[in-house]
Structure 1
């Protein structure tokens, strides 16, 4: 049963700039039920404790939370590369990313229930210039779900 008309708590977090204790304590204190991994590259050694291979175990044991990989909300590699190389300004990245997820019809293809007490995970330390903020704001506007969004930092 879909709960699209009820308000839901949704958080976002980036692992960069946080040690493992801070990261997992933030998730636990926020009572996150599911971490939605929307990273383009979640297997890099740079991901440390947040690598795709290890994160499900840590989330289960430390936070009693589940892990769901959600590539539908990841940017295309070329889009991300152009932004990282400063070939694309933030406003242009934003427009292209929103166009991409709209084209993917994520609002129709993702299960709303996964977002209840969930946390979108990316690598950026702060949400200001990160696609996790754009994704959650886009979904909130499309679902008209009255999400309460918290950016954990």
Structure 2
């Protein structure tokens, strides 16, 4: 049986980072593609990370590709229950993991797309963030994913 090629998968949140910190971190890590996992990626709160601006900055500053994959985002209901209604993280985690299991993201997302890719969302740290859940879920399914939180 042949050994699966190792996938280097990064994650990053853009809040509490300057544009300089954000883009330098991606380039130093060798990220080739940013995979936006946000449900809402055009908010005024996003600053330099609004979809069209981010796509331009990534390409121009770091020659980094941008893709937005809604299958990796929570539903509005799951997000609202956690954010707006101050829900419990454990409940959010269970609901989100069920959602990505139901969506069978491991069959929809190509391993090549994720290699040297970086899952993006807004949370500054990965602990209470769905990007970590996506990365760990895929790592468990594929057994060949090395996760680095930037």
Q: Structures share a fold, TM > 0.5?
A: yes
CA contact (8 A) 2:27 2:62 kept: yes
Match of 1:118 in 2: 117
Q: Residues of 2 paired with 1:144 and 1:135: CA distance?
A: 14
Supply the RMSD in Å over aligned alpha carbons. 1.2
Question: Any gaps of 5 or more consecutive residues in structure 1?
Answer: none
User: What TM-score, normalized by structure 1, do the two folds share?
Assistant: 0.93
Q: Residues of 2 paired with 1:32 and 1:42: CA distance?
A: 20
Match of 1:45 in 2: 44
What per-residue deviation string (whole Å, max 9, x for no partner) do you get for residues 28-87 of structure 1?
A: 000100000000110001111011011111111111110011110000001010001345
CA contact (8 A) 2:33 2:66 kept: yes
User: What TM-score, normalized by structure 2, do the two folds share?
Assistant: 0.95
Q: How big is the shift at 1:148?
A: 1.5
Match of 1:20 in 2: 19
In the TM superposition, structure 1's runs of 4+ consecutive aligned residues that sit over 3 Å from their partners are none
Q: Aligned runs of 1:92-107 on 2, under 5 Å? A: 92-107=91-106
Q: Aligned runs of 1:129-148 on 2, under 5 Å? A: 129-145=128-144, 147-148=145-146
What per-residue deviation string (whole Å, max 9, x for no partner) do you get for residues 72-116 of structure 1?
A: 000000101000134531111111100000101111111111011
Question: Any gaps of 5 or more consecutive residues in structure 2?
Answer: none
| Equivalences, count | 148
1:151 aligns with 2:137: no
